[in-house]
Amino acid sequence: MRVVFFGTPDFAVPTLLNLLDRSEFEVLAVVTQPDKRRHRGNKVTPSPVKEVACAHSLTVLQPQKIKKDPEVLELLRQFEADIFVVVAYGQILSQEILDIPAQGCINVHGSILPKYRGAAPIQWSLYNGESETGITTMLMDAGMDTGGMLMKATTPIGLLDNTQDLAQKLAASGADLLVETLLKLEKKEIQAIDQNDSEATYAPLIKKEDYQLDWSVGALQLHNQIRAFYPNCNTIFREQPLKVTATIPFCTNFDGEVPSEMEEIQQKLPKLPEVSPKPGEVFSIIKGKGPVVQTGDGLLLLYQVQLPGKRPQSGWDFVNGCRLKVGEILGPNS
């Protein structure tokens, strides 16, 4: 099967590698986003998918706007591909592009469709406290993740999983599911099933305001926000920004098994005083772990944080380095 692969981030790499490892497929070319400034140092670097493509001496196309690039469209036609595979490419494909390959375009989407259509399904499934998600392979159409579904694979979400953890699990699952999907398509063993639009939910692009922590909401909601938008959620500490990158919630309003590390830490919590602390107030400090902050509903252990210009550090190192004291307040009114 002759394949052109569209993808950009780390999430797409396992699928590309899986295709390259299988003799049933010939990867003709890779289409990825243009090089851009990334990571520390702000150097112009290629996408993770481009790095893999170059290591395998593949043809790489990097259009700024693929729908408006006639040269790239002509090249895509000249490949005479059987199928296009799309995994987190980052640009919307026009109907003209979708019509090029003989057997259509297959997308590997990071949710169980029709839930979480859109750009950030992994993040929003965590934000909403889902206990499981998964991968759906689908035949693409001109809509936003509205095409016919081919195969699905579910993945449980642990209470302490963040976006990075979950993306790694789903990337591996998607790589296997894509190969299985293509092989079954070739043998005509599966057919696309229409989505039920009435059951659809959406996962829009993440905005800067989604990173702001409001200590008046519940501990579990804050925990889900922090792990969903890892590593970017922030608050104010001593009039300076502070990123909160990992937490452990102490509350009763979640389903599923409590991780053993949570049970161990919870036993070290002192009893709440008669007068409840204010939301954002450091209620206690657990030796070797970090500060416990009062929220609008429940307590939240700051397990890992990051000060401006510093590397991420454990909550306990943060306590010692800043000489943090019980009673200090996090947030805009600190």
Place of tokens 């943060």: 318
Range list of β-strands (E), the chain:
2-7, 26-31, 36-38, 43-45, 59-61, 83-87, 105-109, 117-118, 132-139, 149-156, 202-203, 234-237, 240-250, 282-286, 290-294, 299-306, 313-314
Q: How far apart are the first and last CA of the chain?
A: 60
Question: In the block, which residue shows the tokens 């079954």?
Answer: 184
112 is in an annotated binding site: yes
DSSP string for 90-124 = SSPPPHHHHTSSTT-EEEEESSSTTTTEES-HHHH
d(CA 222, CA 50): 36
Structure token pair of residue 127: 């934000």
Q: How many residues does the chain have?
A: 334
Q: Is 226 annotated in some ligand binding site? A: no
Rounding to the nearest 10 degrees, give the CA dihedral for residues 240, 129, 200, 9.
60
Residue 113 annotated as part of some ligand binding site: yes
Annotated ligand binding at 248? The verdict is: no
**What is the rounded distance in angstroms from the CA atom of residue 87 to the CA atom of residue 84?**
10
Known binding residues for (6S)-5,6,7,8-tetrahydrofolate are: 111-114
Known binding residues are: 111-114
